[in-house]
Chain A
Amino acid sequence: MIHLQNVHARYPTAHRGLAGALNSISFTVAKGEFRWLTGASGAGKSTLLAVLGLSLRPTSGQMDILGVEPARAKRSQLTRLRRRIGTIHQDYRLLEQLTALENVALPLRLAGTDPRLIARESCDILAWLGLAGRENAYPDQLSGGECQRVAIARALVVRPDILLADEPTNALEETESRRLLGLFQEICGHGTTVIVATHNETLLRDFPAPSIEIAQGRVAGGTAPLP
């Protein structure tokens, strides 16, 4: 479960100041729920996902992620919590010096998975995402769509309790996008909470689900009940 209450977040700017990105954000997403995160570019969707993915500390407010309050948690607890959260970034964030397979295997290695299983599970998910035969390719040898799929595979390979996706279909073709959204809804059925940021109206229409709308760093509306 995810619960945010009056969360504010600011980040340092190039002029040594602090820019306010999120203001008084409150919402709850239950276990196994799918939620769209909508809003115009620059509204604060990516910042909110960074806060939920524990990559950005909120400046104030209360937050509960999978029963852990990050503000009070020890660093070791936060590390364990991060392993339960899969994040798909807009810019993929793949390690250039690793192959597609090694990038996907990374979360499993960090989680201490049996080495014999790591290669098999990583290959399986890459194959499912249509990347069979591309395992040894480096990110600079892959197309944008392929990089996107490697990033998706890396987020999914650990079967996370929470999946956060920032515009995951940007570099995908329509068929692949629909297939991916189908997968997200399927893993929701297995208890994973999924939050997908998008401004793709077609997807929002074709895959109706509760949403949270962000505008100028605030929750401006949505179809989901607020706490």
Chain B
Amino acid sequence: MKTSPRIRASADGLNRHGGDRGLMAVIAAMAALATLALGGWSGATALQDHWRNALTRTIFVELSTTDPDTSAPDEATHQNADKLIEKLNGSPVIHTVKRLSRSELDALLAPWLGGGASGTLSLPTVLTVIPDRDASMDQVLHTLRDAAPDAAIEPSASWGSRLGLLATSLRISAVGVMGLALCATAGVVMLSVRMVLLSRRKTVEILHALGASDGMIAGRIARQTALMTGLGGLCGALAVWPALTVLARIMAPFGDVRLSGIAWPADAGAWMQAALGFPVPFLELAASVPFVMAFVGWIVSEFSVRLWLRRLP
């Protein structure tokens, strides 16, 4: 059957084919790596914030029992603790003061002493003090020493700063991995564009001779490359999502003291909920991965093609 003459919208001889799947696969791998690193960066940032706000600012005050023969704090110690709590709650540099319950103390010591240690050992009454956000640590310690001169005071700031350094190094590593993934993407796109130009050399030369501008040729190739890298980025980001969900579950106890271990979702619905339950800022960043990949593909292609076209008169 004879078809009527028709000019295809994309009929300029520059349509890509062949190597596109290879390019997409490599870009997908880079995007997966970048998304994982982004997850690591977000996780480390959240943990650092948590540690800085909760752990670093928490001070433990231990009030020794007045009767060394009893395993549990006696009545006098309780009364002292209540008086101290009342006094500290009135201080402008203290935000919260709380006495650790027996079960909380058991949970705290369980990794070292096993469960139920408070029932068999003579343990001090422990208060957790969270200073006011604007108060300096020196002011707070001074207030505590004034109020309870015999108490042992243990600020966890040193541990907090160490954990903060750990989180910072994790964040730097994640940024490094993201940078490497982007550089590798740029390199792969550059190679791919060179292959396209080599395989389409005659076409490009003909179009150039017919009056196609550098911008037209470069723009055409760059748009196609951007589409490929964008799709590759989307596939990579989606492919790595299950792994991110699992990692988020593994990391959860580090940021939530109420969790004593990894809580795996019970069924598919719970898994789905967990997969979609990431913080919005991270979801926004992860959603930007395909666009960043597309942008890298576009800008590198534009630059490479324009540079190559400079060889033509």
**A80 contacts B5, C-beta separation under 8 Å:** no
Given contacts A56-B313, A95-B206, A97-B15, contact A123 B213 (CB under 8 A): no
Tell me, in angstroms, the Cα distance from A80 to B5 when the chains sit together: 28
19 contacts between A and B (CB under 8 A): A55-B205, A79-B211, A79-B213, A82-B209, A82-B211, A93-B206, A95-B206, A97-B203, A98-B11, A99-B5, A99-B11, A106-B207, A106-B210, A109-B12, A110-B210, A110-B211, A110-B212, A119-B5, A154-B210
Tell me if B216 is interfacial: C-beta within 8 Å of chain A: yes
- Chain A residues, CB < 8 A from B258: none
Tell me if B214 is interfacial: C-beta within 8 Å of chain A: yes
**B313 contacts A54, C-beta separation under 8 Å:** yes
Known: A82-B211, A97-B203. 8 other contacts (CB 8 A): A55-B205, A55-B209, A80-B211, A93-B206, A106-B12, A109-B12, A118-B7, A154-B210
Tell me if B136 is interfacial: C-beta within 8 Å of chain A: no
Query: Chain B nearest CB: distance from A20 CB in Å?
Result: 18
Tell me, in angstroms, the Cα distance from A54 to B209 when the chains sit together: 7
For B158-186 the 0/1 string (1 means CB < 8 A from A) is 00000000000000000000000000000
**B5 contacts A123, C-beta separation under 8 Å:** yes
**A79 contacts B13, C-beta separation under 8 Å:** no
- Chain A residues, CB < 8 A from B214: 75, 79
Tell me if B8 is interfacial: C-beta within 8 Å of chain A: yes
The contact of A53 among B7, B203, B209, by CB within 8 Å, is B209
Tell me if B79 is interfacial: C-beta within 8 Å of chain A: no
**A136 contacts B5, C-beta separation under 8 Å:** yes
The contact of A105 among B7, B209, B313, by CB within 8 Å, is B7
Tell me, in angstroms, the Cα distance from A102 to B209 when the chains sit together: 16
- Chain B residues, CB < 8 A from A70: 313
- Chain A residues, CB < 8 A from B205: 55
For B1-43 the 0/1 string (1 means CB < 8 A from A) is 0110111100111010000000000000000000000000000
A56's closest neighbor in chain B, by CB?
B313
Which 3 pairs show the lowest CB-CB distances between chains A and B?
A: A83-B211, A135-B5, A95-B13
